[in-house]
Amino acid sequence: MPMSEETVIIRIPKRLYKRIEEKIAGTVFSSVEEYIIHKLENEFPEEPVYTEEEEEIIRERLRRLGYIE
């Protein structure tokens, strides 16, 4: 997570925190926070934003494939 992003504090039960700590021990995750952010970003991915030109290209491809008229 870039440091310039605004953050909020979320509380979770200590027993859950400890379970996550045990689960990520020896993995690429350096903290419980990093693991939770990774999981949430996978669960709620950002929607792509297309320009009008890109949308028209996508529509044309879908027309050619027969998905839309």
Phi, psi dihedral angles at 61 (to 5 degrees): -65, -40
Question: pLDDT, tens digit, for every residue of 1-34?
Answer: 555 689 999 999 999 999 999 999 999 999 999 9
Half-sphere exposure of 36 (CA within 13 A, CB side): 13
Q: Is 40 contained in some domain?
A: yes
Domain that holds residue 29: 14-65
Per the structure, the count of domains in the chain is 1
The per-residue pLDDT of the chain, averaged, comes to 93
The reply to whether 6 falls in a domain is no
In a domain, 28, yes or no: yes
59 within some domain: yes
In a domain, 4, yes or no: no
**Crossing angle between the packed helical segments 14-24 and 32-43, to the nearest 10 degrees:** 90
- pTM for this one? 0.64
* Domain-embedded: residue 60: yes
